[in-house]
Amino acid sequence: TTAPYTTALVVGTGYGSAVTALRLGEAGIRTTMIELGQQWTTAGPDGKVFCSTLNPDRRSMWFHRRTEAPLDTFLWLDVVNRDIGTPYAGVLDRIDYPNMGVYVGRGVGGGSLVNGGMAPTPQRAYFEKVLPQVDAAAMYARYFPLARRMLGVNTIDPRYLEKTPAYQYARVSRKHAHQAGFKTAVVPNVYSFDYLEREERKEVPRSALAGEVIYGNNHGKQSLDKTYLADAIGTGNVTIRTLTRVTTIRRYGKGYLVGLEQIDASGKVLKRSELACRYLFLGAGSVGTTELLLRARETGTLPDLPAAIGTGWGSNGNVMTARANHAWDPTGSLQSTIPTLAIDNWDDPVNPAFAEIAPLPVGLETWASLYLAITVNPERGHFTYNHATDRADLHWSAGQSAPSVRSAQALFDRINRATGTTYRRDLFTGNRAFAADFCYHPLGGCVLGQATDLYGRVIGHPNLYITDGSLIPGSLGVNPFVTITALAERNLSHLLTTDLKNR
Ligand code: FDA
């Protein structure tokens, strides 16, 4: 018997996969996308597709009994997280390893469904350091602008930023940063600021102003399902299968055969099947892609995969921290979930940090300033395949987070000294001021130029490609999705004129 066949198979529907599917579809190549999560288009009993951070239900998390928001407690009370009943195919996953929890999105659109939409382009000098073999001139002239346009990146109107109560929290943090002599920067976003202004005027349903973000935005955000993926479907050559996990990969003629496991929203396995393809693109994200290839190498279905698979992983130096403001510096009870300002201390030669000013949208005054800092952390983790669990284990020690904390602390100690403020220790368990044991920006595992050639071709494996954040070696200096998108655009444009030409 022969297995069902598609010309190109794309694993996942995040940034790298969405770019890949659109460009393959445009080139007339029949493409099937396989996505583990749901298609988030059906409203629940409350009339909404997604639930808010303030009132989470089973839609919030991917097969968890309780939410696992990044803040553990508030005023040391266990009031942040909620029981959400029987496990369900919700939109946000947290994959826990011994010293690191990795947050990822699940559904058609991957991380774009749950992220904050922040869309900065890295400083060119740092990009050149991270990916020296990639032609930066072409990236900055062509692929970054293309990615920003395709993703719908826009910037807040400065007049609105200065007057709206919804960004008082950002202005307070900016003032304190300036008092300490730091620069701040406005960060572009894919959330429509025009929509946000209309939310505030109560002309449209609220989303960013209604506490919606990490469990999905019902309105306002240009997530991938509304941009790249809509265009990909529009080519007529791309289809998406949801609630389906790619489990195994083996060679099959000139192409590959993947094992599929279809589940229902309660996690019950409905069907196991196989799908053959000529071209296989892996876009399951840093953790997902690395796990698929490690499994293939270690179980012997693709035994000659490079030793570099599973190495070069980093958290983009993510650290979360919070400061306690004086009574005369309230941060506001209405806070937009969409961050728009950052403290830019990237040029500090010893402790570089880019710290986004994050909201604490709990609907009441907290006098807290929250931050997600991106730092330079030279430590790298690696994955090994665990035969007993059939999963990849991340090796990352608690000590490996220390450089991230040091750089963030240098910045916020200086702000606290300049303004006479202190850290909030009630938000993370153990009275900690800094949390570097989870991340939003997993990067690496299948690094460009090591596990693959300079265009994402897996070494020694014709027609097998990597197209997501696993290509980026652990650090980028800014939030990563614009770069993941631009790099995928660059790689695809090369592959379409080489491997995929004259098929
Ligand atoms: P991505 O993770 O987006 O997509 C992978 C997809 O593959 C997922 O849909 C997954 O379900 C699917 N998949 C995995 N394994 C599979 C399998 N075996 N079979 C089938 N499908 C499988 N970045 C940024 O630039 N600005 C920001 O503001 C933020 N904020 C932010 C907040 C939060 C809460 C999170 C979790 C993340 C962010 N990020 C962010 C990070 C950003 O979302 C992330 O870097 C990108 O989504 C990564 O894109 P990828 O294409 O690598 O994979």
Which pLDDT value is given to residue 267? 97
Please choose, from the candidates 253, 275, 404, the residue with its C-alpha nearest in 3D space to the C-alpha of residue 9: 275
DSSP output for 195-259: HHHHHHTTSS--SGGGT-STT--SSSB--GGGTHHHHHHHTTSEEEE-SEEEEEEEEETTEEEEE
Q: Mutation test of ligand 1: which of 36, 103, 227, 482 has the most ligand atoms closer than 8 Å to its C-beta?
A: 36
Catalytic residue among 356, 382, 461, 489: 356
State percent of the chain over pLDDT 70: 100
Listed residue (334, 316, 450, 305) closest to 374, CA to CA? 316
pLDDT at 349 over 90: yes
pLDDT at position 230 over 70:
yes
Distance separating alpha carbons of residues 162 and 434, to the nearest angstrom: 29
Cα 116 to ligand 1 centre (Å): 12
Atom of ligand 1 nearest to the CA of 356: 28
Residue 309 Cα, ligand 1 centroid: separation in angstroms? Answer: 19
pTM: 0.98
- State residue 97's pLDDT score: 98
pLDDT at 331: 97
208 C-alpha vs ligand 1 centroid, how far in Å? Answer: 20
Q: Where are the domains of the chain?
A: 5-497
What is the reported pLDDT for 100? Answer: 97
Q: Tell me the two tokens of residue 217.
A: 């935005």
Q: Please indicate whether residue 203 is annotated as part of the active site.
A: no
- The tens digit of pLDDT for each residue in 372-397 reads 999 999 999 999 999 999 999 999 99
One-letter amino acid of 361 = P
Q: How confident is the model at residue 14 (pLDDT cuts 50, 70, 90)?
A: very high
Give how far Cα 215 sits from Cα of 8, 32, 199, Å: 31, 27, 19
Which range has the worst mean pLDDT, 69-73, 195-199, 264-268, 405-409? 69-73
CB 267 within 8 Å of CB 275: no
Residue in this structure with the two tokens 């445009």, named with its chain if needed: 26
User: How many angstroms separate the alpha carbon of residue 502 from the centre of ligand 1?
Assistant: 32
Q: Which atom of ligand 1 is nearest to the CA of 37?
A: 11
Which of 1-5, 74-78, 426-430 ranks highest by mean pLDDT? 426-430
Mean pLDDT for the stretch of residues 70-94? 89
Does residue 78 surpass a pLDDT of 90? no
pLDDT reported for residue 79: 79
Whether 441 is catalytic is: yes
pLDDT number for residue 1: 60
Tokens (6 digits) for 295 = 């499994």
Annotated active-site residue in 64, 176, 382, 441: 441
Tell which atom from ligand 1 comes closest to the C-alpha of 17. Answer: 51
For ligand 1, atom 11, name the residue with the nearest CA.
106
Question: Among the residues of 299-384, which ranges form H helices?
Answer: none
Q: How many CB atoms lie within 10 A of CB 437?
A: 23
pLDDT in tens, 128-155: 999 999 999 999 999 999 999 999 999 9
Pick the CATH number of 5-497 from 1.10.1200.10, 3.60.10.10, 3.30.70.580, 3.50.50.60: 3.50.50.60
Task: Write out the H or E segment, with its range, that includes residue 324.
Answer: strand 318-324
What integer pLDDT is reported at residue 155 of this predicted model? Answer: 98
Two structure tokens written together for 457: 């071709």
Minimum-distance ligand 1 atom for the alpha carbon of 189: 28
Task: For the chain, report the end-to-end CA distance as a whole number of angstroms.
Answer: 25
Mutation test of ligand 1: which of 35, 282, 371 has the most ligand atoms closer than 8 Å to its C-beta?
35
CA of 398 to the centre of ligand 1 (A): 24
- Tell me which residue has its CA closest to atom 31 in ligand 1: 115
Number of H helices, E strands in the chain: 11, 21
Question: pLDDT tens digits for 43-67?
Answer: 999 999 999 998 999 999 999 999 9
Give tens-digit pLDDT for 423-453.
999 999 889 999 999 999 999 999 999 999 9
User: 441 CA distance to ligand 1 centroid (A)?
Assistant: 8
With a Cβ cut-off of 6 Å, ligand 1 is lined by 11-16, 34-37, 103-106, 110-111, 114-118, 214, 245-246, 283-286, 288, 292, 440-441, 468-469, 479-481, 484
